[in-house]
Structure 1
Amino acid sequence: MTEQTSHKGKGPLIYRQSIWTRVTHWVWAICLFFLLLSGLQIFNAHPALYIGQQSGFEFDNAVLEIGAVNTDAGARGQTTIFGRTFDTTGVLGMSGSAERPQFTAFPGAVTIPSYRDLATGRVVHFFFGWVFVLTMFVWFLASFINGHIRRDIVPLGADLKAVPADIAAHARLRFHHGRRYGPLQKLSYFTVFFILFPLIVLTGLTMSPGINAIAPFLLDIFGGRQTARTIHFIVMLALVGFFIIHIIMVLAAGPFNELRSMITGWYRASPGTPASQGDKP
């Protein structure tokens, strides 16, 4: 497939995203949505995070606790992070109306199911977790074969040197729509694909007693099941942060062009971008 002729005053319309990149992108988006909301349902069953091999009343190793407490003013939501306590009524620990308060760490509006149902939450979480892992395998294999990882994901020395200038350009909302990803894009995607994705999968597996029997070394690598659960939660927050920034950047850089790229593969480059044939990602 060759590139289409550019319109007057516009850059060329280039074929930037392969079918493998586009399909796995949208499958991941669906998976991460269900994984996040079902994961919060699972977290609500025991709304606390620990560092170490064990947890319980006799241990003082909690780094995060979300719940509700009785006060002179009535029940209040409360979140404790590294020993510091915050009133989070209406958001965490206690939400809903005064007539029908909801005493869960995260409100039902952001969990699957929206009511207390750990069993269903686990089924949904595990199903989309394995779909997520399979999609990762497909993406890595296809991207290695077609060179997407080499061209667009792994940052080289020149990319690292260009990071300050790219940060300055983004701060001024000046985006260059080129044939390849910019330095910040490469660093971001490299972090997601080679650090965050593997971490969230491996820590998830570490929490499974069945996997512990097969691969007990994971418990040693992550410092125990409770520490793995904490890392799993932190990586989830990092991915949510990446998603928010990703959406902001899509809106700032031109949502129509960005969406067209991830749906059809065709992308409008900046004026002056050289048009060439046969350079399909």
Structure 2
Amino acid sequence: MTIIDDIESRSGRKTGEGKVIYRHRIVTRITHWSWAIALFFLLLSGLQIFNAHPQLYIGQQSGFAFDNSVLSMKAMRAADGTVGGYTTVFGHNFDTTGVFGMSGPADNPSYRGFPAWATLPSYQDLSTGRVIHFFFAWLFVAVFLIWLVSSLINGHIRRDILPSVADIKLLPRSIADHLRFRFHRDGRYNGLQKLAYAGILLVVFPLIIATGLTMSPGMNAAWPWLLDIFGGRQTARTIHFLCMALLVVFFLIHIVMVLAAGPLNEMRSIVTGWYRTDAGKKEDHTV
């Protein structure tokens, strides 16, 4: 019995009922944790870069002569004369004092888009943020290419990421099961999981990489067609930001699902590769 098996037994889980299968290959586990580390630093350093100009636009250009802003976070003076943080979305102002636009102690507020605790470094330092961001961005790209090539070779994408016709037909049931936190631990991804992973791995990841390259002047010179695809550097920046927001939402839902499905078993599978199925589940499945 492993240490985790012993913990499961003491916590009331019946470890003798299910079958232990090898669920995750080593490439899956390494790329998973590499992405987790890279995305952590990319998020915090990306918010540091965003704070240098906490405003998003649609189009090629930005500035006072253009009315193409879709989001901004800044400090503004209210009608009563007080200054607060406001987030403007498509022309609608929301008071976000203490979080966005203005944060920190009342006697020494900080006027910035995202608060200090959400950026890396915590103080305003664009150059350091860019160095950190670019380093982990290239690490992220390298890991993605390794995952993509290996997954095409071993059939992981076809078998475990792209939903089949049967998965689509069972999608309503999968959604209902997840809403009721009812999980079928057979080592396989259901249709809802496949759609989520396919959306992140095959849509959001490539999109965040492509928009990141589009914001680079060097890439604009080498591949000017990137600007045409995304409708300008400012639009690419906005899409890049939205992709980041989607990844944050996915991460939060992912953590909730891991906790609900059995964190010890789920963590063991992504660390060691071994996963315990429910009683009666006999199909081995390697992801």
TM range (shorter): over 0.9
Q: 2-side partners of 1:61 and 1:179: how far apart?
A: 48
> What residue in structure 2 maps to residue 80 of structure 1?
88
Q: 1-side partners of 2:15 and 2:147: how far apart?
A: 36
Task: State the 1:9 CA deviation.
Answer: 4.9
The runs of 5 or more residues in structure 1 that have no matched partner are: 1-6
Give the AA of the match of 1:137: L
Instruction: Give the conservation status (yes or no) of the 8 Å contact 2:75–2:102.
Output: yes
- Residue from 62, 66, 70 that aligns with 1:63: 70
> What residue in structure 2 maps to residue 21 of structure 1?
28
Give the AA of the match of 1:65: S
TM-score (norm 2): 0.93
Instruction: Give the conservation status (yes or no) of the 8 Å contact 1:94–1:105.
Output: yes
> What residue in structure 2 maps to residue 245 of structure 1?
253
Q: Deviations over 1:36-73 (max 9, x none)?
A: 00000000000000001110001000000110012334
- Residue from 136, 151, 155 that aligns with 2:163: 155
Give the AA of the match of 1:59: F
| Number of positions where the alignment pairs a residue of Structure 1 with one of Structure 2 | 273
> What residue in structure 1 maps to residue 19 of structure 2?
12
- Residue from 126, 146, 164 that aligns with 2:154: 146
Give percent identity, aligned residues only.
62
Q: 2-side partners of 1:166 and 1:11: how far apart?
A: 21
1:274 counterpart SS class: coil
1:96 counterpart SS class: coil
> What residue in structure 2 maps to residue 136 of structure 1?
144
Q: Deviations over 1:206-233 (max 9, x none)?
A: 0000000111000000000000000000
Instruction: Give the conservation status (yes or no) of the 8 Å contact 2:186–2:283.
Output: no
TM-score (norm 1): 0.95
1:30 counterpart = 2:37: yes
CA RMSD of aligned residues (A): 1.2
Give the AA of the match of 2:244: M
Task: State the 1:10 CA deviation.
Answer: 1.7
1:262 counterpart = 2:270: yes
Q: 1-side partners of 2:236 and 2:172: how far apart?
A: 34
Instruction: Give the conservation status (yes or no) of the 8 Å contact 2:160–2:194.
Output: yes
1:95 counterpart SS class: coil
